[in-house]
């Protein structure tokens, strides 16, 4: 089984290429399990439909985080 870091790296570029996806990270699910967190700038049902519920063994959680900019 791949680590969550390897799984994130494998899928990060593809996820970031989707409309309104601004971040891909690692966090915890409501159950306390490791999860891939995908941040969207705004709600986008079309993009959300393209994001899988799981990547490898890890759940994917979509959060509306707003736009992200470097400081």
pLDDT category, 66, cuts 50, 70, 90? confident
How do residues 16-53 score in pLDDT, each as one tens digit? 999 999 999 999 999 999 999 999 999 999 999 999 99
Tell me, what's the pLDDT at 38? 97
Tell me, what's the pLDDT at 69? 65
Task: Kindly state the helix (H) or strand (E) to which residue 59 belongs, with its residue range.
Answer: strand 58-64
Residue 68 has pLDDT above 80, yes or no: no
Q: Per DSSP, what are the bridge partners of residue 26?
A: 36
pLDDT category, 1, cuts 50, 70, 90? confident
The C-alpha atoms of residue 34 and residue 28 are separated, in whole angstroms, by 5
Q: How many CA atoms lie within 13 A of 56 on its CB side?
A: 15
Contact at 8 Å (CB) between 42 and 20? yes
Tell me, what's the pLDDT at 33? 95
């Amino acid at each position: 089984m791949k680590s969550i870091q390897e799984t994130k790296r494998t899928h990060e570029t593809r996820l970031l290429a989707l409309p309104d996806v601004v971040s891909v990270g690692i966090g915890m699910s409501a159950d306390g399990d490791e999860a891939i967190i995908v941040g969207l700038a705004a709600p986008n049902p079309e993009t959300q439909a393209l994001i899988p519920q799981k990547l490898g063994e890890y759940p994917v959680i979509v959060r509306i985080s707003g736009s992200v900019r470097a400081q």
